[in-house]
Amino acid sequence: MSFAQANVTVVDDDVLVLRSLDRLLQSAGFQVEIFSSPHDFLEKRGANPSGCIVMDLSMPGLSGLELQQALFSTRDARPVVFISGQGSVPASVQAMKAGAIDFLTKPVDEAKLIGAVRVALDKDRAAREHRADQAAITARLSSLTPREREVLIGVVAGKLNKQIAAELGTAEKTIKVHRARMMRKMGVDSVAELVRLWTLTQPPQA
Amino acid sequence: MDAHTTTASVAAALRPPRWLLPALAVAIGYYLGARLGMAFTLHPHPISTLWPPNALLLAALLLTPRRDWWWLLLAALPAHIAAELQSGVPTVMVLGWYASNCSEALIGASLLRAFVRGVPRLDSLRDTGILLLTAALAAPVFSSFIDAALVRLIGWGTSDYWDLVNTRLFSNALAGLMVVPLILAWAAWLAAGAGRMRGARYAEAAVLFSGLLAVCLHAFAMPHNDAHTAPAVFYAPLPFLLWAAVRFGPIGVASALPAMAVATIWGTVHGLGPFTTETPQDTAREMQLFLIAASVPLLLLAVALAERARIERESRSQLTHLSRVAMLGELSGGIAHELNQPLTAILSNAQAAQHFLANKPGERAILSEILQDIILADKRAGDVIDRLRAMFKRGETRTEALDANRLVRDVMSLAHGDMTTRGIEVIPRLAASLPEISGDRIQLQQVILNLIVNAADAMSMCAPNDRLLTVHTLATKGRVHINVVDRGPGFTVAPDILFEAFYTTKPQGLGLGLSISKSIVSAHGGRLRAITRKGGGAAFLITLPALPRRP
């Protein structure tokens, strides 16, 4: 099963419920880690964690929504699946707005839970790959000289070598050399490819 | 037949019939009553001024099911003969009087049963009114006609028919007034479990009765030489009788009146006291009228007070129940959550078990763990329902020995769901060992629950880390304390105002919770106070008297 190594973290203050979810998810083939208190979870989670989190919405000390905020502010980007004793509409809206994968009501439907966990794990993997790509591109970008970077920005803006040369106050021939070096450093063969990589590093525009 | 059934049937055969003890009591009571009645005779005329046996029999009939009445009437016969034969009356007359005595008891009891269901209650004016009309009026009147007729028929003595009716009527009416309420009051007290009284109450009762006796003996059983008696003398017992009515209710008056009657009659029979006229008949009549006139209003006063107290108690208990149900309604979301948790655990465990059975059928250990958890979860759901059902029930107040820690834990688990949904952490700080307290479990739980819910409401605006609610229990000398402490904003008004009915700070609140809580705690002999804490937040302090520790 593709999820064999996937890590699902369950946080619920009710130990009986916690154990039952642990067993259910394990029986469906997931790797499961459990915490009975939100604070405990925040303290003991590893660095750069992967997988997804299944958590109770209402817990003493720190509610699920507050925990979600805490994760967000510590850049723990794992997708969250909420389970809740009573499906209060405002809470679920808030949770979904904050990026929760799903909001399930107790008693939890097995198929829905496993489905939501799979979606969450997929999303986590996709996000992880996306971040890895971004990191690689950022690394390549940082290997450029300031001049090469200026050329890149010109190329991405769709300018001709001549225009770039004029703007930078240098010969077109020089630009051609910079451009070739820049394209090699960025590992691309075409302008289209370069533009795709460049947009990946840009923050999405509203 | 095995050994058990043999033992059981032998025991059943040996068990005395239900009517035996009442019948024996009637026989003894009747005999003693008759001897007393004879002692209360104004010589030289053989007229008893107070004749208890008939009233005693009447009261016994009222306390027994109709099908057992014959046994009681039969039990009275030997007692009657034993008592009467000593006075040298012809056997025919003795039997005739037995018949007329029984007729009085039967007339009174049957009439009363026609109007009052079950045993008449001395905390109901209607019941008591009917009791006086039947036992102290109708029964003596009708049976006196029969009695006088029998006496004339048999030809005993020389008295005139109407004289006989008159004499007998007053003596039996007075007995009905004195004896029937006395027996009914004490029977009701025994039936209610013979409520324990505190030592101070016993002392008060002793002072009251010795005072009453002293006054009565002084007023009615001292040599009276003056032809003129100051009217104030007749009022001398009144303060004590009022004391009995107000402080001890119907049972107090029903006991005080016979005490006064015995003292008065004893004095009069011995030629003492203010009731002295030309003829014994008139003397007896004046004394009897005095006792009747004093008894009826005082008895009715005590009954009216008791009735008002009973109605108040009933409506308070209704109000308490209503506010409890309203509070549970507010908690219903939390309680649903509380039931949902174990249901979730059961479902997920069962589904996990299905997967394990399908994929790893060899793993028995995990299946046994799962089943163990399913049992735990199911029991937990059952506990929630049990506690809820107890709280919803509308029952009589029941006093029992209680452990304050257990009360707190029960309430905490009832409120757990609600507290969790509100993100409030309840921290129990319970004393390791507490003396027991005495009270009604449900009502005291209601108080604690009310305080916890209030505290939670007060903290709804607090930061998550500050939503802490602490429940302390501790013991000091002779007291048990339960303190509910929150970190909310405290009070904006004087704490006393919080306990006033209809004062509320909640948009949906009725403003009854705290006022009812306070009255519950007061009814338990305790105090409920509210204070604003120095560090912020409010504390509600329940103080209850502790029961003496068990040896």
Residue in this structure with the two tokens 């505190």, named with its chain if needed: B198
pLDDT at A5: 55
Expressed in angstroms, the distance from the first to the final Cα of chain A is 39
Q: Which residues contact B115 (CB under 8 A, 6 or more apart)?
A: B130, B134
Write down how long chain B is: 551
Read off the DSSP letter of residue A106. S
Range with lowest mean pLDDT among A4-18, B61-75, B269-283, B521-535: B269-283
Task: Specify the higher pLDDT residue, A51 or B269.
Answer: A51
- Average pLDDT of the residues in B249-270: 88
Q: Are B398 and B391 in contact (CB under 8 A)?
A: no
Which ranges in B232-271 belong to alpha helices (H)? 232-235, 238-243, 249-269
Q: What is the residue-averaged pLDDT of chain B?
A: 84
- Average pLDDT of the residues in B53-60: 88
B342, B344, B422 member nearest A108 (Cβ) = B344
- Average pLDDT of the residues in A88-108: 81
pLDDT at B278: 74
Instruction: With cut-offs at 50, 70 and 90, classify the pLDDT of residue B45.
Output: low
- Average pLDDT of the residues in B271-288: 79
Range with lowest mean pLDDT among B110-114, B319-323, B378-382, B528-532: B319-323
pLDDT at B307: 92
Which ranges in B459-551 belong to alpha helices (H)? 495-498, 513-523
Strands A52-56 and A102-105, bridge-based pairing = unpaired
Instruction: With cut-offs at 50, 70 and 90, classify the pLDDT of residue A11.
Output: very high
Q: In this complex, do A24 and B349 lie within 8 Å of one another by their Cβ atoms?
A: yes
Q: Which residues contact B137 (CB under 8 A, 6 or more apart)?
A: B173, B176
- Average pLDDT of the residues in A167-176: 88
A20, A66, A86 member nearest B352 (Cβ) = A20
- Average pLDDT of the residues in A147-157: 88
Q: B-chain residues within 8 Å CB-CB of A21?
A: 348
| Calpha distance B63→B109 (Å, rounded) | 10
Helix, strand, or coil (residue A8): strand
The pair of three-digit structure tokens given for residue A37, joined into one six-digit string: 């208190």
Residue A89 forms contact with B (CB below 8 Å)? no
Q: Does residue B98 have a pLDDT over 90?
A: no
Helix and strand numbers (H, E) in chain B are 19, 7
Q: Does residue B507 have a pLDDT over 70?
A: no
Interface test with B, best of A8, A10, A11, A14 (most B CBs within 10 A): A14
The B residues from 383 to 402 touching A (CB cutoff 8 Å) are none
Predicted-assembly ipTM surpassing the 0.85 threshold: no
Q: Does residue B2 have a pLDDT over 60?
A: no
pLDDT at A8: 92
| Helix/strand/coil percentages in chain A, nearest 5 | 55, 10, 30
Q: Does residue B299 have a pLDDT over 80?
A: yes
| Calpha distance B403→B482 (Å, rounded) | 11
Q: In this complex, do A27 and B348 lie within 8 Å of one another by their Cβ atoms?
A: no
Q: Does residue B540 have a pLDDT over 50?
A: yes
| Calpha distance B94→A174 (Å, rounded) | 150
- Average pLDDT of the residues in B92-99: 82
pLDDT digits (tens, 9 = 90+) for B371-418: 999 999 999 999 888 888 888 887 777 788 899 999 999 899 888 888
Contact pairs from chain A to chain B, CB under 8 Å: 98
Task: Specify the higher pLDDT residue, A24 or B157.
Answer: A24
The pair of three-digit structure tokens given for residue B351, joined into one six-digit string: 């589904």
Residue A147 forms contact with B (CB below 8 Å)? no
Strands B527-532 and B538-545, bridge-based pairing = antiparallel
Residue B153 forms contact with A (CB below 8 Å)? no
pLDDT at A3: 43
Task: Specify the higher pLDDT residue, B503 or B446.
Answer: B446
- Average pLDDT of the residues in B264-283: 79
| Calpha distance B194→B185 (Å, rounded) | 11
CATH fit for domain A3-130, picks 3.40.50.2300, 1.10.3720.10, 2.30.31.10, 3.40.50.150: 3.40.50.2300
pLDDT winner (highest mean) among A49-53, A84-88, B199-203: A49-53
| Calpha distance A98→A39 (Å, rounded) | 20
Distance from B379 to chain A by nearest Cα, in Å? 12
Q: Note the CATH architecture for domain A143-200.
A: Orthogonal Bundle (1.10)
Distance from B466 to chain A by nearest Cα, in Å? 9
Q: Are A58 and A36 in contact (CB under 8 A)?
A: no
| Calpha distance A107→A166 (Å, rounded) | 69
Q: In this complex, do A13 and B352 lie within 8 Å of one another by their Cβ atoms?
A: no
Residue-range domain boundaries for chain A: 3-130, 143-200
pLDDT digits (tens, 9 = 90+) for B435-488: 999 888 888 999 999 899 888 888 888 877 788 899 999 999 889 999 999 888
pLDDT at B468: 87
Q: Which strands make up the sheet holding A7-11, listed edge to edge? A: A31-35, A7-11, A52-56, A80-84, A102-105
- Cα dihedral across residues A177, A180, A183, A185: positive or negative: negative
The pair of three-digit structure tokens given for residue A105, joined into one six-digit string: 């009501």
A13, A23, A63 member nearest B349 (Cβ) = A23
Q: Which residues contact A15 (CB under 8 A, 6 or more apart)?
A: A36
- Average pLDDT of the residues in A96-122: 88
Q: Which of B503, B333, B340 is nearest to B415 (CA)?
A: B333
pLDDT digits (tens, 9 = 90+) for B230-240: 778 888 889 99
pLDDT at A34: 92
| Calpha distance A90→A93 (Å, rounded) | 5
Task: Specify the higher pLDDT residue, B225 or A155.
Answer: A155
Q: Are A202 and A194 in contact (CB under 8 A)?
A: no
Residue in this structure with the two tokens 């163990």, named with its chain if needed: B372
Task: Specify the higher pLDDT residue, A112 or B275.
Answer: A112
Range with lowest mean pLDDT among B196-200, B291-295, B372-376: B196-200
Q: Which of B465, B487, B499, B492 is nearest to B533 (CA)?
A: B487
Q: In this complex, do B419 and A60 lie within 8 Å of one another by their Cβ atoms?
A: yes
Q: How large a percentage of chain B has pLDDT more than 90?
A: 22
pLDDT at B297: 93
Q: In this complex, do A66 and B337 lie within 8 Å of one another by their Cβ atoms?
A: no
pLDDT at B164: 77
